Amino acid sequence: MNTKPQSTDKDVIIRLRRIEGQVRGIQRMVEEDRACEQMLTQVMAVRASVDQVGLLLLETHIENCLLKDLKADPERLEELRETLKMWARFGLLPGAALPWSEEAVGI
């Protein structure tokens, strides 16, 4: 069930098109034998952009799917909403073990 606001879809599409352009730019840089540092800088920019798209989609999912019909005290619901958004924004670093993973529990 698609419950995302139209503006979110539009924002995601705009960001993905920008990322697509950045990737094409990196392809050209490789073809033109540009400096490695320049290409790596652009790769890092693409990664950051993809992370932002993922964050936007995750926050939309939290808001419109997970919490939409949750019956709770409005103040507590807002606290949960903000906590989930903080976790999404500042939570696990890439490659970090999830707390319930075999790696984290020593299996």
Read off the pTM.
0.68
What is the Cα–Cα distance from 73 to 29, expressed in whole angstroms?
54
Three-state SS string across 32-68, please? CCCCHHHHHHHHHHHHHHHHHHHHHHHHHHHHHHHCC
85 pLDDT above the threshold of 80:
no
More confident residue, 60 or 6: 60
Is 10:37 a contact under the CB 8 Å cutoff? no
From the list 49, 46, 53, the residue with the least C-alpha distance to 29 is 46
What is the structure's pLDDT at 1? Answer: 44
Over residues 86-105, the pLDDT tens digits come to 777 776 555 555 555 555 55
As a whole number, mean pLDDT of residues 1-18 equals 81
- Residue 46, number of CB atoms within 10 A of its CB: 17
